[in-house]
A and B are shown apart, each in its own frame.
Chain A
Amino acid sequence: MKNSRKEGTWEAKKGLAQMLKGGVIMDVVTPEHALIAQEAGAVAVMALERVPADIRIQGGVARMSDPDMIKSIQERVDIPVMAKCRIGHFVEAQILEAMKIDYIDESEVLTPADEKNHVNKHDFSVPFVCGATNLGEALRRIGEGAAMIRTKGEAGTGNVVEAVRHARAVLGAIRKLKVTPPEELMTIAKEMGAPYDLVRYVHENGCLPVVNFAAGGLATPADAALMMQLGMDGVFVGSGIFKSGNPEKRARAIVEAVSRFDSPEVLAEISRNLGEAMVGINISTLPDEERMARRGW
């Protein structure tokens, strides 16, 4: 019998993100963290050397993590393992693909390697997730082959305000596009700087063609449930878990909050007695050059 098997297809790339919906993806820096995350019910982990809060404090150029460190995490857990490459750094992406990472985050949390171009993600059989602050940016990334979108938020701040801003920008623009007369779509595509076909897809379907997660500054179960009630498909939590007083308990609580995001009584119970949350940063006190969400376009 002829074998019809095709690996790395668009369905397979997009499909993994669909299976992550309603779940929490957690930043981890050690295999021990990864195990805690898995035990707590994370749907995937993001393996990196420093969480965004530490990247902020330590400064310098932030790059892809050491392959050995990523591998030590891949060996310890069964859930998907993601890793970050710098914006436009397609060789870091090639290395991560060679390591059979499950998902690549082309991330503004690392220092961009190309100020004009993102990675051509169609070239890869491994799927990519990319950050976006508005609909045009989301559609540009999907046009380049991203199989999953997340808000940029403002990573490492423990402040959810930017994630809310980006979620509202993307979801609000989608709602508007749904009722836009078709003859206006080309002009909108031109103004957004987004591919016409994707603008038309959103108009016809009322949603992005890929899964859309919240990320950047989430620190509490209530933050996670807020993003879900706004209409996001799931959440990334970075520094918010392992920079808090009781990571194990907080991780579990955020997982539970995402699966029961519309039950306030349940959220009240989940949110009790979690220990200290990470110390937050007010975005307005951040100098422009330290705002990661401004990276990428």
Chain B
Amino acid sequence: MPSVGVLALQGGVAEHISILIELGCEVKEIRTPDELESISALILPGGESTTLISLMNRWELIGPLRAMGEDGFPIFGTCAGAVLLSKEIEEKEHEVSQNSLRLADVRAVRNYFGRQTSSFVETINVVGLSELFEGVFIRAPLLLPLSDEVEVLSQVQDGPVLLRQRNLWLSSFHPELTPDSRIHRLFLESHGILKGSG
């Protein structure tokens, strides 16, 4: 049974876990560096990115995770998790003073769509899925590729919302908030962690 880690410091952790279990994975909650051993992929869930960055620094996860990401380890960041993976983070006046992962050639524009009243649900096309996917966007970031290495797997009229750079996947929506497990499956299958169903 493949073992997949979910960063469990804050945010939508349980939602990812239930989808991974449904896909037949063994799930490990990650709070400290030594828990990173013996997993074959990692999910960085949605939550508040400033909180997550602060706690990842506090529990000394930044260094080990960055090394794994640079080494080709599959990591999927959803919403705030995608912000953590981005090399550039744009936000208003307040700067993120702490160290983030900064692994993917992506510029994340936080809260691009506005405040909570502008959070939305939209059906999107995803490269690799034959049918539409319902994307739940909550105070979502826009994700702008900074290099040709970054593939756009889905976009809305405002710009890209699902990106892949080799081992790194970033979504501005929450695939864990719908009971639909196809995007998790796509991520795990393309890294050989789950066997293709076809």
A residues at B contact (CB < 8 Å): 3-9, 11-13, 15-16, 18-23, 35, 38-44, 74-80, 97, 100-103, 125-127, 252, 255-256, 258-260
Contacts and interface: CB of A to CB of B under 8 A. Distances in A.
Nearest to B8: A22
Interface stretch (B114-122, B145-153, B182-190): B114-122
A19 B93 contact: no
12 contacts: A8-B119, A11-B136, A15-B119, A19-B12, A19-B46, A22-B10, A23-B48, A74-B115, A78-B94, A125-B117, A126-B116, A256-B55
Interface residues of B, number: 46
Nearest to B173: A15
Contacts of B110: 78
A225 B122 CA distance: 37
Contact of A22 (B47, B54, B119): B47
Contact of B120 (A6, A23, A35, A43): A6
B195 interface: no
Nearest to B96: A78
Query: Which 8 residue pairs spanning A and B have beta carbons closest together?
Result: A102-B116, A12-B119, A41-B54, A22-B10, A43-B48, A5-B122, A100-B115, A41-B51
Contact of A19 (B9, B47, B121): B47
A41 B121 contact: no
A44 B138 CA distance: 14
Given A18-B12, A23-B10, A12 B121 contact: yes
A125 B115 CA distance: 11
A38 B116 contact: no
Contacts of A41: 50-51, 54-55
